[in-house]
Structure 1
Amino acid sequence: MSEFYDFVLEDLDLRNKLILDAAVGAGKATYFWAKRIYEQGGTSKIISIDNDLPQVWKEKIETRLREYGKYVELKEADIFDLSFLKDESVDIVNCDNTIVFLNPKPLRLLLALKEFERVLKPGGYLIISSEIPIEDLNNPENEGQWRGWNLAKAIYCLKGENWSSEPWPEEVKFALKLIGFAVYTEKTFPQRKNLKYQDCMKEWKEVMLKNIEKIPWDSSKDALIKNVNEVYKKVKKDGYLMNPALYVLKCRKCSKL
């Protein structure tokens, strides 16, 4: 298990627990949580949700989970509306690298945090991880990631949509305090080079080109396509993608601290 997930899971008792994974994404976090459930006796269940979970994506996640899939229920659901869960019915909520996609609309982020607070039992755990914005452009190693990330933001903006915005840890801690959570431990993991970038960048390129076609101004499309191809070629030439630093905030619902 990676150092990151070692820290996320190190103090958690995963016996006879109901865990909400919000959101599942590609299923990486779900795999490590399900594996730890197995290691602790296999008596817990994870409900892994995403607002867009087509069958082909479910099958990919199930393949990744392998024998640990029996502890996981994959469910298409909106992170802002967890009405399928009763008040105070969940022991742990894991929110792994999801809030970057909520932060462009801060009040929506607060709505999601409030739903987490509603479904968690008194004293329940909320584990949040997210990326720290890359700002040091004097370091050429950051260029590929920075250009790709911000180009994606621009493309979605030209479609009239918001894509992502990386919140700083202090901002998230302030929001958590407003809702009724207390952070009891935290850790930051430094930037690292991702040498297995190929699938990630291939998917990024496909998604960006598909979204460029939806932009209503034809005059902008050629320049954007050119930039997408340039970023893709640069990362391929560099031989790595610089992953941003990550932070983890481990919290508890305040009522029984």
Structure 2
Amino acid sequence: MYKIVTAEKFLWEGLNLDGKQVLEGGTSWGNTIDLIASKVRENGWKTNLISVDIDDSHFNEIENRVKGTFQDLSLRKADLSDLSFVSSETIDIIICNYTLASVNQFPLRAIKVLKEFYRVLKVGGKLLITEEMPIWSVDSNEYEYWSKRLRIIKSISVLKAMAYFNEIHPKDLEEALTIVGFNHLQWQEFKEKIDAELATRFLDKRKQTLIKGRDDIHNQQLTNGFVEVTEKLIKEFENAKEFSAPAYIMKCIK
């Protein structure tokens, strides 16, 4: 959903994947795999990649897109808080883009993930995390669509008793990483881009969930109100190609 544009220089600065065992946390649609694959081809790196996600529905199409790019590619369906299939101290680099907030929908689950990242990384291995800034920590007027969309999604999720993303402030993440044992932490905030089509598709998906279970809430006015607000926002931005969103990258070493 996100494009790493303004942050790309900071993300890849001093990063060489040649001959490295790389772990990606959160496969999703394969956006980060495509980014890594592009860098591998551009630099002629020989890279092994393990990508992990709780949802394997996009694995086949991803494999077809990047076929022949990596020395070895393994897509694994698993929870990032349990990487028991990865041996300790075997990974050189971990890249985790826009995933911790999803994992953190279960409070403190992100801590378990960070502990697993620390376990599988070699001493001196690098961890790179890209995340959204929490909505309460930014000027929402500067990120109009992002702010409205996020509030609607979270509100519908609460009404439907569904888990939702919990964004982590970089200062809190920095503290958690230090507790786990990571060193040499540095982070920068960036203004990034949301792909409008994917962002709107996800918003519409939440609306459909609300409509299908309209009897769960037992309040037709409330249901209709959220459907109306959602459709209005989709209509308002239907001709846009992308939207600004606040994000940050955290880099650290084991």
CA 1:212/1:114 → structure 2, altered by over 3 Å: closer, same or farther? farther
1:185 paired residue number: 186
* RMSD (CA atoms): 2.4
Moved more, 23-32 or 113-122: 23-32
- CA deviations 1:162-183 (Å, max 9, x no partner) are 2112211101100100101124
1:136 paired residue number: 139
1:83 paired residue number: 84
From 3, 13, 36, the counterpart of 1:33 = 36
Q: Is the 8 A contact 1:5 1:32 kept in 2?
A: no
- TM-score under structure 1 length normalisation: 0.85
Partner amino acid, structure 2, of 1:197: A
CA 1:104/1:181 → structure 2, altered by over 3 Å: closer, same or farther? same
Q: Secondary structure at the match of 2:130?
A: strand
Q: Is the 8 A contact 2:96 2:129 kept in 1?
A: yes
- Please give the residue correspondences for 1:142-161 in structure 2 after superposition, counting only pairs within 5 Å: 142-161=143-162
Query: Whole-Å Cα distance in 1 between the matches of residues 209 and 6 of structure 2?
Result: 35
1:10 paired residue number: 13
Residue 250 of structure 1, CA deviation: 0.9
2:51 paired residue number: 48
Does 2:75 correspond to 1:74? yes
- TM-score under structure 2 length normalisation: 0.86
Q: Secondary structure at the match of 1:124?
A: strand
Residue 19 of structure 1, CA deviation: 0.8
Identity fraction in percent? 28
Q: Is the 8 A contact 1:42 1:71 kept in 2?
A: no
| Alignment length (residue pairs) | 246
CA 1:214/1:62 → structure 2, altered by over 3 Å: closer, same or farther? farther
1:124 paired residue number: 125
Q: Secondary structure at the match of 1:144?
A: helix
Residue 187 of structure 1, CA deviation: 2.1
Residue 71 of structure 1, CA deviation: 4.5
Which ranges in structure 2 are unaligned for 5 or more consecutive residues? none
Q: Secondary structure at the match of 1:91?
A: strand
Residue 31 of structure 1, CA deviation: 1.4
Residue 229 of structure 1, CA deviation: 0.7
Query: Whole-Å Cα distance in 2 between the matches of residues 120 and 211 of structure 1?
Result: 41
Query: Whole-Å Cα distance in 2 between the matches of residues 96 and 122 of structure 1?
Result: 22
Residue 48 of structure 1, CA deviation: 0.9
Moved more, 198-207 or 170-179: 198-207
Residue 208 of structure 1, CA deviation: 3.2
Q: Secondary structure at the match of 2:108?
A: helix
1:110 paired residue number: 111
Partner amino acid, structure 2, of 1:6: K
Q: Secondary structure at the match of 2:59?
A: helix
Which ranges in structure 1 are unaligned for 5 or more consecutive residues? none
Query: Whole-Å Cα distance in 2 between the matches of residues 211 and 50 of structure 1?
Result: 25
